[in-house]
Amino acid sequence: MKQELLNRLLRYIQRDTQSEENSKTYPSTKKQFDFAHLLKKELNDLGMDDVGVDKYGYVTASLPSNIEKDVPIIGFLAHMDTAPDMSGKNIKPQVFENYSGEDIILNKDLDVSLLVKDFPEIKNYKGQTIITASGDTLLGADDKAGIAEIITAMEFLIKNPQIKHGKIKIGFTPDEEIGHGVDHFDVKKFGADYAYTVDGGAIGELEYENFNAAGISIKIQGRNIHPGNAKGKMINAILVASELNDMLPIEQRPELTENYEGFFHIIRFIGTVETAEIHYIIRDHDIKKFEQKKVLIIDVINSANKKYNQEIVKYQLEDQYFNMRKKIEPVLHIVEQAKQAMIELGITPDIKPIRGGTDGARLSYMGLPCPNIFTGGHNFHGKFEFIPLESMEKAVQVILKIIEKSTK
């Protein structure tokens, strides 16, 4: 199983599938469509049923039940795109077998290394096989590791028909990294009773809570006057934007928060004296605190307009997704099922809230309860991304154990 996993991951990550935030198409990039058709061929070759790629780039397939009694139809999902945060082109994977527990040089020429002092968790994988990129791209294990793990689990069941299971559905989505992963996903057609996204991090992660999320775009109209004659006339849009930012609570910035603490995160600032734009994402696990944050930032904007006695600041606020806990709690047994699967495999479950979002959050609100389980990866979205092959193998085993437990 290890070799199949490794071969799949190495093959997948060398395909550039980055999504594009400003694209007007769906999926946002053609290269995701190309990858979808590659996966379709692979699933057909394995002998999966109902294999297809629809016009939106969703890959879906089924594995028929081989038992007579009725059991739940389980789905497993992962996303095909990689994050736009760093280049996903020309990825050169590196495989470090029997990892020594010391620093890993990723790129000697660029002086890029995975340092134990910066990433002490890597020492937990001494003696294992570590997969990285080459110091100038992300690796793409988020979430091609999830795809490799799901397909490897399906291949194992196909090759071992004596293992009893109910009907299984799998799905691979585009554009998750830009927040549009399930915009056109047909939950009813997919046909699962519940599902799991295989999109988590380190071994043992099991998540059924995530942020409530909103985004706000703020535009400021200043007044540019020659600085020699500016007194009482100039309104510097850059300074107004800075004033707005300073009025938000400093302690509610992402770099100062953890666990269940929410934040305001400024992600873009473009400005001149005449005009400025600032963009924030707003996050909180608690729905009441989330709503309070939205009220607070609007109050800040209104106070600026009041100060200048005119509407120089305008905004557009949009909710993005909500905490899936509300939808998972009525079917909490699906979390317990995954938890017990890990325990039976000797894995310590690490149940914690996602400080981000997932396709599963939106799917849960669309009628498909969908917790998230680990892939085994670390440091997603950057050049220090790595994944232990043994953690990937454990992820496959968890998928198979969940399937087994669903038949009891």
Residue with token string 């666990």 = 259
Q: Considering the candidates 42, 81, 177, 393, report the single residue annotated as catalytic.
A: 81
Name the catalytic one among 16, 142, 143, 176: 176
Phi-psi sector, 175: left (phi>0), alpha (psi -120 to 50), beta: left
Give backbone dihedrals phi and psi of 172, rounded to 5 degrees, phi first: -125, 125
Give yes or no: 284 in active site: no
Closest CA to 235 of 297, 300, 310: 310
Is 251 among the catalytic positions? no
Separation of CA 299 from chain center:
31
Q: Where are the beta strands (DSSP E) in 43-190?
A: 49-53, 59-63, 74-79, 94-96, 104-107, 112-114, 130-132, 168-173
> What's the residue count for the chain?
408
Q: Phi and psi at residue 208, in whole multiples of 5°?
A: -135, 15
Show Cβ contacts of residue 54 under 8 Å, excluding neighbours closer than 6 positions.
60
Spacing of C-alpha 349 from chain mean position: 19
Cα dihedral: 80, 81, 83, 88 (round 10): 100
- C-alpha 297 chain-centroid distance: 26
> What is the token pair recorded at 348?
């310590």
- Angstrom CA distances, 224 to 202, 241, 273, 274, 331, stand at 51, 15, 6, 5, 58
- Sequence-ordered alpha helix ranges (H) in 220-286: 237-247
CB 202 within 8 A of CB 87: no
User: In terms of DSSP bridges, do strands 168-173 and 94-96 run parallel, antiparallel, or are they unpaired?
Assistant: unpaired
Judge if the upstream peptide bond of residue 27 is cis by omega within 30 degrees of 0. yes
Rounded Cα distance, 395 and 314, in Å: 47
Active site residues: 81, 176
